[in-house]
Amino acid sequence: MSGAQIWYDEVLHQDYRQSLRIETILHREQTAHQDLIIFENKRFGRVLALDGVVQTTEGDEFVYHEMLVHMPILGHGAATDVLVVGGGDGGALREVLRHRAVGRALLVEIDASVIEMCREYLPGHSAGAFDDPRAEIVVADGAAFVAGTERRFDVIIIDSTDPAGPGEVLFSEAFYGDCKRCLRPGGVMVTQNGVPSLQGAEVTNSHKRLGAHFADVAFYLASVPTYAGGVMAFGWASDDESLRETTLDGLASRYAAAGLETRYYNPEVHRAAFALPNTVRALLG
């Protein structure tokens, strides 16, 4: 925080930073795992930051959550069981449960305080998803959970923080291997993979580590304004290459059948999101 006005300075990068002006601090605590703050910003509404890094805002969360969720579920085409690792704000769970065909959605979040505080201060993120009878909430280490569970899923969504602190293990090759074991045949896994212009190593490392376990590994992009540095990358991993090659007509049919009304995602964006600029292609080696 700095200046005559109160600003929240994001400290993710040593040589680059962004600041969001704080209108009101709604809650701040040191949880068992991380520093948590929720504050009001005039442009983006309520903001959640963890350990000095903006995680989500009311103003642009829909971009991130729609692209994180609808890409794999509509790409799969027949998902009924979905696992979300992380995502304690509830936004990803909300979007998963908008798919009527999903009969079970399991969210595994390491920090109970994130769930509790987001239920109270960011209720629009979950929009009742935590109380949906199809949802199961487990407070546990996501890496330990996938290493030990015998449950299987059609889609696994890794809604993690950056690869530091509690989120670091969720970028490891061992974790990706455990996720592969938890996928049913023909399943797909997606990951949050940072902003390539500032966090290129995340894409490079994830490409290599996912490639050790999955036959088809790719990345797709979306623009989330409060994730500093430009477009954000998401990892995609499956053993079924045809899922990523679903035609526009096929996606449009699935989108219509799901009855979705989205603000960012659409079938055309889905197809286009896999087109990478050369700077990102170079990160894949």
Extents of the domains making up the chain: 7-57, 61-283
Contacts of 36 (CB under 8 A, 6+ apart): 27, 28, 29, 30, 48, 49, 50, 111, 113, 114, 117
**Residue 283 vs residues 64, 114, 128, 204, 205: alpha-carbon distances, Å:** 22, 33, 39, 5, 9
Classified by CATH at the fold level, domain 7-57 comes out as Spermidine Synthase; Chain: A, domain 2 (2.30.140)
Whether the Cβ atoms of residue 197 and residue 280 lie closer than 8 Å to each other:
no
Question: Per residue in 255-279, is it b (16+ CB within 10 Å) or e — as a string?
Answer: beebebebebbbbebbbebeebeee
pLDDT, mean over the chain = 95
The DSSP result for 136-148, as a single string, is: EEEES-HHHHHHH
pLDDT score recorded for residue 163: 74
Asked if 159 is an active-site residue, the reply is yes
Indicate the CATH number for domain 61-283: 3.40.50.150
CA 146-163-230 angle, 5° bins: 120
pLDDT at 1 over 80: no
pLDDT in tens, 112-122: 999 999 999 99
Strand ranges inside 224-275, DSSP E: 231-238
Helices 173-182 and 196-211 pack at an angle, to 10 degrees, of 60
Helices 248-258 and 61-76 pack at an angle, to 10 degrees, of 110
pLDDT score recorded for residue 178: 96
pLDDT score recorded for residue 2: 46
pLDDT score recorded for residue 62: 98
Q: What is the pTM of this model?
A: 0.95
pLDDT score recorded for residue 161: 77
Contacts of 35 (CB under 8 A, 6+ apart): 28, 29, 50, 51, 52
pLDDT score recorded for residue 4: 67
pLDDT in tens, 76-114: 999 999 999 999 999 999 999 999 999 999 999 999 999
pLDDT in tens, 175-198: 999 999 999 999 999 999 999 999
Question: Per residue in 158-173, is it b (16+ CB within 10 Å) or e — as a string?
Answer: bbbbbbeebbebbbee
pLDDT in tens, 137-178: 999 999 999 999 999 999 999 999 777 667 788 889 999 999
pLDDT in tens, 191-226: 999 999 999 999 999 999 999 999 999 999 999 999
Residue at 37: amino acid letter: I
Residue at 176: amino acid letter: Y
Q: Please identify which of the residues 60, 89, 111, 159 carries the catalytic annotation.
A: 159
